[in-house]
Amino acid sequence: MSNFKDVFTRFINLAVANEKLLAIPTIEPIERKILHLLVTYWERKQPITVVETMSITDEISTSTVFRYLKKLRQKGYVELVQDEIDNRIKYVTPTKQTDQYFAQLGKLMVEATK
């Protein structure tokens, strides 16, 4: 039979997994900036590669952009789609979560103007 220490450990791990199940991933300021810059390309239906994204702004270094792009991907805000012809090229594309994020922002802006 498990001792109470095991039960408590399982409870903590269950609680952590449960929280992640129900939580919406938050965005850090730099991730938000990158996402807002990316949306200008997506709105114009202009494909943007990972390499192009890394140079999307002069304010943040390319390595930092890449690091935060990976975080955005882990949180489900972007997807990387391989080019059909050249496997080395990956395009940064939005996800449903990105659409929901911007829809929510739009709603908040409309409410703020009332």
Question: Quick check: 3 binds another protein (CB under 8 A)?
Answer: yes
Q: Is the distance from CB of 54 to CB of 66 less than 8 angstroms?
A: yes
What's the closest the beta carbon of residue 12 comes to another protein, in angstroms? Answer: 9
Report the chain's terminal Cα–Cα distance, integer Å.
61
From the list 104, 94, 84, the residue with the least C-alpha distance to 42 is 94
Task: List helix spans (H) across 23-49.
Answer: 29-43
Window 7-66: residues binding another protein (CB under 8 A): 7, 9-11, 13-22
Pick from 2, 26, 46, 87: which binds another protein (CB under 8 A)?
Answer: 2
Q: Which is nearer to another protein, 15 or 105 (CB)?
A: 15
Which positions lie near another protein, rule CB under 8 A?
1-4, 6-7, 9-11, 13-22
